[in-house]
Chains A and B, each alone.
Chain A
Amino acid sequence: MRSRNPFVMDCGVFTTNYREDMAILHHPAAKLKVLTIAAVFLFLPFFVSPYYVSVANLIGIAIIGAIGLNILVGFTGQISIGHGAFMGVGAYTAGILTATLGWSFWIALPAGGLMAAVIGGLFGIPSLRLKGLYLAIATLAAQVIIEFGIVHWPALTRGPAGMVLPAPTIGGLVLNTDTSFYYLILTMTVAAIVFALNIFRTRAGRAFMAVRDRDLAASVMGINIFKYKVTAFALSAFYAGLAGALWGHNLGMISPEHFTIKVSILYLAMIIIGGLGSVMGAIYGACFMTLLPIVLRELADFFGGGFAGLTHAMLAMQEAVFGLLIILFLVFEPEGLAKMWRNIKDYFKLWPFSY
């Protein structure tokens, strides 16, 4: 269990019992790697400017949302085009609790997640009868109907104008800067990742994958498909709700246009580009899709010198690039960035004997 070369970490690892076999981190080097990464992120705000911290916040939120969607789409095989709306449910529930009722953020955050889980589970019920295309269309209907509800229930949601949310406080500390919020999001993101990694070592997680691979076979083996499909919807929506609630409080305001079908598609794009059915994939995809528009904007500023008309063309170009990337990834690397990264590692691991 000695590691010689950072690329050949899993060489010579022989597990002798189930406990070791089930471990997420198989050897000390992997633990060291994870600890190093954790330390980097823990001290990140001390090294970089607040702007990059705010970008990191957005990435963290996207990671939570993308992992949630990947649990449903990548691991359970149920397509959802309603993730944006579920984020909206979480954001609005938390927002109404903190802004209108004046509750503490620390109650509102899980409440937002739970409410999204309830609604998500509700819209997951059609998955009993519907599969594939039909389910995708049903979740699209959920998206449209929830959006309608948010816009047309002004007594609760203040309609299209949106609502302003207070900053969360912990003890006497108000989390109103990017840096203070960063630690909240970092904690939540790590919790989300660890929970997701662990769930696939339990009965529920294995049941999800069995349902994905062949639901009829899973049902013959004694898995209650309906229960696990609805659970997957609820769990995925719970993640979405948390992400939405964090997003709203990070920005300080929410309005219906933040949770449109475009958001649902963006998250689908994240998990496709990152890698379906992989927690790491969701993380890579979330980073990639959050950074892409920022990089594109920087490029446009660099080459365009800040023409007024350019910003508009930028938005259009961004959309076209998103679309093109989705298609290219689907055609050339359907397993996404996660697979690409594995290929790169494998190349070095096997070098110079690549067969």
Chain B
Amino acid sequence: MTFFMQILISGLVVGAVYALVAFGFVLIYKSSDVINFAQGEFLLVGAYIALSLVVFYQVPFPAAVALTLSMCVILGVVVERLVLRPFIGERVISVIMATIGLSLLMRGIIQMVWGTETRTFPGIFPDMPVRLGDVVVSQIYLWSLAVAVVLLVVFTVFFKYSSTGIVMRAAADDQVAALSMGISVKRIIAITWAIAAVVAAIGGILLGNINGVNPSLAYIGLMVLPVVILGGLDSVPGAVVGGFIIGILESLAGGYLDPLIGGGVKEVAPFAVLLLVLMVRPYGLFGKEIIERV
């Protein structure tokens, strides 16, 4: 039972990070129909920038996080302007390949700047594990979970009540209608990319504190695909629910099936689910069903 709880909690934490990254992913898809294969690289950039600030420039952690996030805002806007803007209304394959190209470009630059060895954050969160009943949890896990949950709540409120949030929902719902109401869709898409880059960076900082930072973190960018397909590509609540489900599933598969087969199930299980979902219910749990009319 303790083992199960341990697995469940690590699944929740991973799921929270997935939910964050998937959230950015879904935002971009909703507002501009772009599948961003470079989401994992945004996460990596955020983690590395924060790490450099803390380690090399000795910036205090909260200030470093704030600086990182503002840099990520700029990065998101610049990437949207330079790379994605020319692809508005282009074929799906062009858009997919553009973001794949973007991910290669970013990964290449990241590796040129920071190399490939794993770097760790200096102990920012206390090492003392916390006991919850029988289960021992390290503090960083709880922090990550808390940060992710708070962020998700903040963004939910932002979309429901702030005027920018409402405008963004309008643009995502129907670009033409939004344009005719005097909304600048270009500005909205830029904001979307900024937000996506910021949430990815937060995910990166959290994961970097758990496992250290190395280029393989970008693999998360692929792992969020099962999450968003399960939840529904155009559904923000779906991204959150899907994130937790896939995180827990991955943990369970890793805990119970990996010892039987000899590793690797953890990585492949979400994709098996993904294929299953695509076969049965391609629009996911909460997504809108697309009906094609001639």
Establish whether residues B104 and A326, one from each chain, have CB atoms under 8 Å apart when the complex forms.
yes
Q: How long is the Cα–Cα vector from A81 to B264 in the complex, in angstroms?
A: 20
- Chain B residues whose C-beta falls within 8 Å of the C-beta of A316 in the assembled complex: 107-112
Chain B residues closer than 8 Å to A293, beta-carbon distance: none
Contacts A138-B278, A320-B105; A152 near B261 (Cβ below 8 A): yes
Chain A residues with Cβ below 8 Å from B103 are 323
Q: How far is B94's CA from A34's CA once the two chains are assembled, in angstroms?
A: 32
What is the minimal beta-carbon distance from A327 to any residue of chain B, in angstroms? 4
Which of these, B92, B222, B279, contacts A79 with CB under 8 Å? Answer: B92
Check if A326 sits within 8 Å of B278, measured CB to CB. no
Q: List residues of chain B with CB within 8 A of the CB of A133.
A: 35, 92, 96, 233
Question: Chain A 304-343 against B: per-residue CB contact (8 Å), 1 yes, 0 no?
Answer: 0000000011011111111111110011001000000000
Given A126-B275, A138-B275, A265-B100, are A319 and B282 also a contact pair (CB < 8 Å)?
Answer: no
How many residues of B are in contact with the other chain, CB < 8 A? 46
| Total A-B residue contacts, Cβ distance less than 8 Å | 132
With both chains docked as a complex, state the minimum distance between the C-beta of B81 and any C-beta of chain A, in angstroms: 13
**Inter-chain contact A312/B115, CB cutoff 8 Å:** yes
Instruction: Using CB atoms and an 8 Å cutoff, list the residues of chain B in contact with chain A.
Output: 35, 83, 86-87, 90, 92-94, 96-98, 100-112, 115-116, 222, 225-226, 229, 233, 261-264, 267-268, 271-272, 274-275, 278-279, 282, 292, 294
A26 to chain B, nearest CB (A): 31
- Neighbouring B residues of A325 by C-beta, 8 Å: 101
Residues of A within 8 A of B275 (CB): 126, 138, 141-142, 145
Q: What is the bound-complex CA distance between A142 and B279, given in angstroms?
A: 13
The docked-state distance in angstroms from the alpha carbon of A269 to that of B111 is 20
In angstroms, Cα B112 to Cα A318, docked, is 10
Across the interface, A126 reaches (CB within 8 A) one of B102, B115, B278, namely B278
**Cβ-defined contact, A145 with B272, below 8 A:** yes
Closest chain-B Cβ to A263's Cβ sits at a distance in Å of 13
- Which chain A residues lie closer than 8 Å to B274 at the CB level? 137-138, 141
- Beta-carbon contact of B98 and A320 below 8 Å: no
Further 7 A-B residue pairs, CB within 8 A, beyond A140-B222, A141-B274:
A141-B272, A142-B275, A152-B264, A216-B294, A272-B97, A320-B108, A327-B98
Q: Is the CB of B104 within 8 A of A330?
A: no
**Cβ contacts under 8 Å, A145 to chain B:** 268, 271-272, 275
Q: Which residue of A lies closest to B229 (CB)?
A: A137
Binding site for B on A (CB under 8 A): 73, 79, 126, 129-130, 132-134, 136-138, 140-142, 144-145, 148, 151-152, 216, 261, 265, 268-269, 272, 276, 312-313, 315-327, 330-331, 334
> Can you name 20 A-B pairs with beta carbons within 8 Å?
A79-B96, A126-B275, A137-B225, A137-B229, A140-B222, A140-B271, A145-B271, A152-B263, A216-B292, A272-B97, A276-B93, A312-B115, A317-B108, A319-B104, A323-B100, A323-B102, A323-B103, A324-B101, A330-B94, A331-B98
**B97 CB to closest chain A CB, in angstroms?**
5
Bound Cα distance A271, B108 (Å): 21
Q: Are B261 and A315 in contact (CB under 8 A)?
A: no
A134 and B282 in contact, given A141-B275, A320-B104, A323-B103 (Cβ under 8 angstroms): yes
Once A151-B264, A152-B261 are accepted as A-B contacts, the answer to whether A327 and B83 lie under 8 Å apart by CB is yes
CB distance from A300 to the nearest CB of B (A): 12
Q: For residue A292, give the distance in angstroms from its CB to the closest CB of chain B.
A: 13
* Other-chain residue from A130, A138, A152 in contact with B262 (beta carbon distance below 8 A): A152
What's the nearest-Cβ distance from chain A to residue B89, in Å? 13
Residues of B within 8 A of A73 (CB): 93
A contact residues around B108 at 8 Å (CB)? 316-323
Would you call B104 and A322 a contact (CB within 8 A)? yes
Residues of B within 8 A of A322 (CB): 101, 104-105, 108
CB distance from A214 to the nearest CB of B (A): 9
The residues of B that contact A318 with a CB separation of less than 8 Å are 108
**Are B105 and A312 in contact, CB atoms less than 8 angstroms apart?**
no
Check if B116 sits within 8 Å of A312, measured CB to CB.
Answer: yes
